[in-house]
Amino acid sequence: MGGIDPSVQCIRGTLSCCFLRKEFMGREISASTYRVLSYIVKYKYTNHGLSPSIREICQGCSFHSSSQGHYHLLRLESLGLIDRYARRPRSIRLIGEQWQLPEDRDA
């Protein structure tokens, strides 16, 4: 699976996600879990930092059930790659994610 450039420029700033690798802390990440992580990063990049919903993750990763999406999100949380707030939709935070406002170009 192809990765994403770890430092992607967008209109609102820089998303730094240098953790995109298939192994974390010596534990192999399954292809499906890696696909979910990649989808989240791509979605956040193209939507200016907004997190995808569970349904969008399932559609984007071709899962037939939302429970599959939940499973992979829990797996990513247990590995320390994402963080979520309970009972808040679209609250996925990538660990190591940093947004910086672009410098004023008019000055």
CATH number of the 7-94 domain: 1.10.10.10
Tokens of 76: 């990513």
Tokens of 107: 């000055």
Q: In this predicted model, what pLDDT tens digit does every residue of 65-105 receive, in sequence order?
A: 999 999 999 999 998 889 998 888 888 998 877 655 555 44
pTM: 0.69
Other beta carbons within 10 angstroms of residue 77's beta carbon come to 14
Domain boundary assignment for the chain: 7-94
How many whole angstroms separate alpha carbon 67 and alpha carbon 72? 9
Q: In this predicted model, what pLDDT tens digit does every residue of 57-71 receive, in sequence order?
A: 999 999 999 999 999
Place of tokens 């994402």: 82
